[in-house]
Chain A
Amino acid sequence: MQTKVITGSRSVATAVMLAKPEVIAAYPVTPQTEIVEDIATFIEEKRLGSRFIKVDSEHSAMGACIGASSAGARTFTATSSQGLLYMDEVVHWAAHARLPIVMAVATRALAAPWSILNEHTDFMTQLTSGWIQIMAENNQDALDSMLQAYKIGEDPRVTLPVMVGLDGFILTHTSMPVEIPEQADIDSFLGERKPEFEIDVERPFTFGNVIDERYYIDMRHKMFESMQAAKEVIGSVSNEYKRLAGREYSMLECYNCDDAEHIIVSIGASSGDAREASDRLRKEGVKAGAVRIRVIRPFPSEEIAKALGGAETVTVVERSLSVGGGNILAHEIRSALYSAHGPEEAPFVKGFITGLGGKDITPNDYINMVGITRERPTGDEWFGLTGG
């Protein structure tokens, strides 16, 4: 196993090279572009044998992946922000059609006005899509999650597409040491894709024709069940991956949580700063912990109820916003805790909307937000406004 100092984009492209999808279709969009460029280079250098369809748009990228995946191929695409929204229609289609397409999303703010900097709202717009959604914390996590994504999505108990998010620029354009697994290990880990149904002239199926009002709901229920089943599969795939790579991943990662009274919940690249904040708070005598949500679909409700159930307050910090609704993650966490522990026992959950459009979130910011939560534990708030 080799260690290289590479960007998040290169980590994703390297994972693609190891997973050997037969068909790739993608359209460039900042800050995802380097993924596409790296893949094109790998193919040019014959290090990757995929067919790369250089499509006319993101909608066509996903359209081509749907076609290729329906025909039995392993597929890959990558996008960001406006590109993800432009392909939105077919993103949902891919999940409904039960195609284990893997897509990397370099997260970025949405226009107008133009901003190419980091934010997670693009990723969060797909929570209802039926995709498994993993948000990486660092470049190693991006590479490892990409490889696990194929194994999870292609599992016959799941057969759903998987989206791996990584913070735009903060990960995509920042180099850090990444251990690259051996090709032979990945070959035996992933094996070949074996769909139960694929386009085959000897078995003429019709995919996705009209279904009436009696049965549509059952079809959706089966999607829901498969998404629930994915929780177990994510666990077993993680165990298997640990045996080959030595690194362990779970749906959420807890730090300093066992006796914690005040827990920070974060997602993505700034989670290291949340852990640092909890360390600093502990030095000041505050029993603080940090939880990073890695898998947001399927939502790890049980794990959240367990990890956060004993705390006094929970500070949810997210780089995303549902205008008119507020925090996205905090609502779901509150719901998980309320369902598991009831109104009397559940901890206070306070959401912070911050970090939009590339605004930094520092360890001090986390410490300040925990302070605000302890002072005013109810009601979500904004953090980081200039007052302009």
Chain B
Amino acid sequence: MADKDESSNYIVPAADSKSKALLLRYPISLPDFGSGGKTNQWRLQMPVIDQDKCIKCIICWADCPEATIHRKSDDSVEINYDYCKGCGICANECPTKAIRMVDE
């Protein structure tokens, strides 16, 4: 799980109740997680980080199409398993092979 207490990097403004009531009329949507559902269910393999091998290069973070790698203040990284789809780009691109794809 992404450490949401440690300053999540996600920018999600709170929706006012008036907007919510009129969404269908206009029709508009509000920014939120999981607009495509619980996308962790798509995953066949999950990335697992070996923090000892990690050199904090944050390439995995930069290349993640999903924003499911959390970049912490010290540039160490953590996977957001709630939404990670398991594409494996992070493991493929990691220069020190610190990320392995493991069967669910």
Given A203-B13, A204-B13, A196:B26 Cβ within 8 A: yes
* B34 interface hit (Cβ, 8 Å): no
Interface of chain A residues 177 through 215 with chain B (CB within 8 A): 196-197, 202-209, 211, 215
* B25→A98 contact, CB < 8 A: yes
A336 CA / B78 CA spacing, docked (Å): 65
The answer to the question of B19 belonging to the interface, with a C-beta cut-off of 8 Å to chain A, is yes
Tier of interface size on chain A: 20 to 34
Q: Are B24 and A207 in contact (CB under 8 A)?
A: no
Is B29 a contact partner of A196 (Cβ separation < 8 A)? no
B13 to A196, Cβ gap below 8 A? no
Query: Does residue A51 face the partner (Cβ distance < 8 Å to B)?
Result: no
Query: CA separation between A209 and B19, bound complex, in Å?
Result: 16
Contact of A284 with B by CB under 8 A? no
> Is A206's CB under 8 angstroms from B31's CB?
yes
Is A204 within 8 A of B26, CB to CB? no
Specify which of A97, A159, A205 is in contact with B29 (CB 8 Å cutoff). Answer: A205
- Which of chain B's residues have a CB closer than 8 A to the CB of A197? 19, 22, 26, 28
What's the minimum C-beta distance from B69 to chain A, rounded to whole angstroms? 23
Interface residues of chain A: helix, strand, loop or mixed (majority) = loop
B19: chain A residues within 8 A (beta carbon): 197, 203, 205
Q: In the complex, how many angstroms separate the beta carbon of B73 from the nearest chain A beta carbon?
A: 25
- Cα of A204 to Cα of B32 in the assembled complex, Å: 11
Q: Which residues of A contact B24 (CB under 8 A)?
A: 215, 218-219, 222
Q: Residue B30 at the A interface, CB < 8 A?
A: yes
Within 8 A of B (CB), among A204-258: 204-209, 211, 215, 218-219, 222, 226
Known contacts A196-B18, A203-B13, A205-B28, then 19 further A-B pairs from the complex at CB < 8 Å, ordered by chain A residue: A96-B27, A97-B26, A196-B26, A197-B22, A197-B26, A197-B28, A204-B13, A204-B31, A205-B29, A205-B30, A206-B29, A206-B30, A206-B31, A207-B26, A207-B28, A211-B27, A219-B25, A222-B25, A226-B25
Which B residues fall within an 8 A CB radius of A? 13, 18-19, 22, 24-31
Write the residues of chain A forming the contact surface with B, with a CB cutoff of 8 angstroms. Answer: 96-98, 159, 196-197, 202-209, 211, 215, 218-219, 222, 226
